[in-house]
């Protein structure tokens, strides 16, 4: 009788483990398939951009004279749609001069884009009254949040010597 109980207990244990294993495999597949496609991400980013710009437009309460400046500004700063990327050699396969050339080319493209944005912002900013300029400063390009790349600053890493407690190797400055 003892042997029969052990056999039944082992059988149920094996069945339970097999059922648990089968259930665990399905969510892993769904999780892998849940990753959004490139097109979905681009659509989501475009939607988020449009919502941010609409919110900024509503906050500024632009006059009819300022609307044309807003339209020009929006046309100049609108992110370009990401097309198909050209095939590149893997970065590790490039020589050091090729890597630096690639980095310099990317830097020049970014600088040209920033110059275009600067001209557009300067022209639009000049059309705003002081109250609108303050709102624009607070809500554009990250504003109070500091932008997307500023999140590392808000995780307790404020730099310096113990969060401003010291002023160099000798501790707090005397006198």
Q: What pLDDT, in 10s, does the model give residues 89-147?
A: 777 888 999 889 988 999 999 999 999 999 999 999 999 999 999 999 998 876 555 44
CA-CA-CA-CA torsion sign (108, 113, 117, 123): positive
- Report the SS3 class of residue 160: coil
Question: How confident is the model at residue 143, as a pLDDT?
Answer: 58
The pTM (predicted TM-score) of the whole model is 0.58
Question: How confident is the model at residue 16, as a pLDDT?
Answer: 73
Structural tokens at position 103 = 């980095």
Cα 135 to Cα 166: distance, rounded to the nearest angstrom: 36
Q: Do residues 139 and 89 make contact, with C-beta atoms less than 8 angstroms apart?
A: no
Nearest to 123 by CA among 79, 61, 68, 53: 68
* Window from 20-24, 76-80, 153-157 with minimum mean pLDDT: 153-157
Question: How confident is the model at residue 144, as a pLDDT?
Answer: 52
Question: How confident is the model at residue 11, as a pLDDT?
Answer: 74
Tens-digit pLDDT profile for residues 137-165 = 998 876 555 444 444 444 444 554 554 55
């Amino acid at each position: 009788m003892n042997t029969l109980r052990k056999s039944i207990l082992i059988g149920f244990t094996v069945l339970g483990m097999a059922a648990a294993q089968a259930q665990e495999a399905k969510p892993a597949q769904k999780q892998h398939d849940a990753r959004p496609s490139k097109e979905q991400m681009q659509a989501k980013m475009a939607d988020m951009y449009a919502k941010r710009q609409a919110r900024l437009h509503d906050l500024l309460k632009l006059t009819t004279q300022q609307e044309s400046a807003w339209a020009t500004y929006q046309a100049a700063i609108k992110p370009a749609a990401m097309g198909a990327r050209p095939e590149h050699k893997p970065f590790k396969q490039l020589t050091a001069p090729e890597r630096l050339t690639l980095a310099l080319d990317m830097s020049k493209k970014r600088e040209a884009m920033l110059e275009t944005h600067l001209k557009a912002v300067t022209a639009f900013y000049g059309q705003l009254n002081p109250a609108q300029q303050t709102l624009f400063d607070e809500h554009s390009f990250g504003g109070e949040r500091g932008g997307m790349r500023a999140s590392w600053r808000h995780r307790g890493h404020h730099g310096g010597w113990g969060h401003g407690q010291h002023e160099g190797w000798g501790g707090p400055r005397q006198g």
